Amino acid sequence: MRILVADDDPVCRHLITSGLTKQGHEVIETASGTEAWKKLHEEQDALRLLVLDWMMPGIDGVELCRRIRREASENYTYVILLTARTYKVEMLAALDAGVDDYLTKPFNQDELHARIKVGIRALGVQQKLIDAHRATKALIDHSPFGISSVAGDSTILQSNAAFAKILGFDSPSALSETTLKRLFSSAAEADNMFRTLAQESEINCYEAEWLRADDSHATVRVWARPIPQLGDAGAIEVMIQDVTEQKQLEQRFRQSQKMEAIGRLAGGVSHDFNNLLTVIKGYSGLLMRRNDITGPVREKLRAIDVAADRAALLTRQLLAFSRQQVLQPRVINLNLVISEIAEILKRLIGEDVRLSINYDKGLHSVFADPVQMQQVALNLVVNARDAMPNGGELEIRTENFKLEEDEDQHGCRVKAGDYVRIVIRDTGTGMDETTLAHVFEPFFTTKEDRGTGLGLATVYGIVKQSGGFVWASSKLNSGSTFEVQLPAAQSRVSARLSS
């Protein structure tokens, strides 16, 4: 054991040092409190057992002990005070300053060695407590769950790194400036949790909407229980798990299931409706071939035939959404596909919308039906134009995209490989979250009497049937962006060969 001995009497210091050295201890000698204080800082917690004379020049033993306790190092320092004083009041003052034990001069070596043994045992116990504390702290700090202790007035006393990270704070110390109630999205929800905790003494897996540091929402599961050990009757321990992404994935999965069900229904209805249209078209065609039918009757037959054609177009859109239409895919370059309809797109959007088309010169080829890909572009452009009644900017961009490993994107599992993207961005009115959630559903429209609600549903069906993905992102009054992502032709061929 390394022991610091501080005594201004060289004879007494020599006797103590020689006795401790014979016991196998390493002794560091100093002749004053000032020198001892300097040595302690040089050693940086390596000296944890001190034998100090009370009366020394500069800093006395009691003042040195008081300074050590004020610094409050994690590694405890055991202090034995040597003194000729015998007054009880003085000894109580020394103990109050932080002295652990004392010896009254004169003393013999056996008394000192007994005190040293007690100090070593005390330091051993203290070290075990420190090690246990460090292990527990490391376990808490590395936990994926957010853990915090909260005072009765809702002040956050302590928290681990995960708690701060889940809530978007830079560090746990940043949470000391806030309260637990402030983290709830509504005061009523916070009151409800504290009321439930008061009634049931424990909360298990309670879901709540909390606010992050940037005021965005996080869905968390909450566990809470009282911790009276802190000496605060209202103190509680709170543990949270971030389930925001999980909830979003669940919502997207439910949405995809709904879209799948609607698609099957739309496909079945379309097939049956096509059979009825075949009969209508057939008989109207036969009647129009008769020369004896003229005048108003013939005009009505022509109106029936035109209506049947329009109905057939709707059924084709429904079939596209349900992914049951017949495609004629081949290896194509989407740059060429879009450039062929560029002039049509310019006329389609009108003069008050500025169109820019940016082609990736090294764009990979894709395996898709070129006519259907043009339909996808036309539908997305029409949708963008309708979102800009007062004009604006419309950008069409093609680009390559490489995914190094399988990844979840917008709730879809996308396999690693090379992809080609068409990005269509407008500066229109944008959509709120509710509208965005239904944007690809058939017959869903915000255009009142101007739309069928099948334009984006058709896009969804064509892209899905072509083995790709389509996503929309938007904010109200901030425009919208649609991304069509198709596997590159080489990746598509490789996938076929591997399967």
Same domain, yes or no: 398 and 428:
yes
User: The domain that contains 131 carries what CATH number?
Assistant: 3.40.50.2300
Same domain, yes or no: 310 and 229:
no
User: The domain that contains 171 carries what CATH number?
Assistant: 3.30.450.20
Per DSSP bridges, beta strands 417-426 and 392-403 are: antiparallel
Specify the 3-state DSSP secondary structure of 422: strand
pLDDT in tens, the chain (499 residues): 889 999 998 989 999 999 999 989 998 999 998 999 898 888 876 788 999 999 988 899 999 999 988 887 777 889 999 988 777 888 888 889 889 998 888 888 888 899 999 999 998 898 888 888 788 778 778 888 999 888 878 888 888 889 989 988 888 888 877 888 888 888 888 888 777 777 777 888 888 888 888 888 888 988 888 887 666 667 888 899 888 888 777 766 666 666 566 666 666 666 677 777 888 888 888 888 888 888 888 888 888 888 887 777 666 655 554 444 556 788 999 999 999 888 878 888 888 899 999 999 999 999 988 878 888 898 899 889 988 988 999 999 999 989 888 887 766 778 888 999 999 999 999 998 888 888 887 767 776 655 556 778 888 888 888 889 998 999 988 899 999 999 998 644 343 333 3
Same domain, yes or no: 185 and 271:
no
The residues, any chain, with a CB within 8 Å of residue 438's CB and separated by 6 or more, are: 444
Phi first, then psi: what are they for 145, rounded to 5°? -90, 145
Same domain, yes or no: 338 and 291:
no
- How many structural domains compose the chain? 4
Domain, as residue range, for 429: 330-498
484 neighbors 376 (Cβ within 8 angstroms): yes
In whole angstroms, give the CA distance from residue 19 to residue 17. 5
Q: Where are the beta strands (DSSP E) in 359-464?
A: 366-368, 392-403, 407-409, 412-414, 417-426
Q: Please say which residue of 139, 160, 177 terminates a domain.
A: 139
Same domain, yes or no: 358 and 455:
yes
User: The domain that contains 450 carries what CATH number?
Assistant: 3.30.565.10
User: The domain that contains 300 carries what CATH number?
Assistant: 1.10.287
Same domain, yes or no: 151 and 127:
no
Same domain, yes or no: 355 and 425:
yes
- Let me know the angle formed at the C-alpha of 34 by 29 and 37, rounded to the nearest 5 degrees: 75
Same domain, yes or no: 358 and 491:
yes
Same domain, yes or no: 274 and 380:
no
Give helix 370-386 / helix 455-465 axis angle, nearest 10°: 150
In whole angstroms, give the CA distance from residue 183 to residue 133. 28
The residues, any chain, with a CB within 8 Å of residue 59's CB and separated by 6 or more, are: 32, 33, 34, 36, 37, 67
Dig out the tokens for 324 from the structure.
């049951």
Same domain, yes or no: 335 and 474:
yes
Same domain, yes or no: 94 and 150:
no
Q: Please say which residue of 91, 110, 139 terminates a domain.
A: 139
Same domain, yes or no: 16 and 111:
yes
Q: Please say which residue of 242, 262, 287 terminates a domain.
A: 242
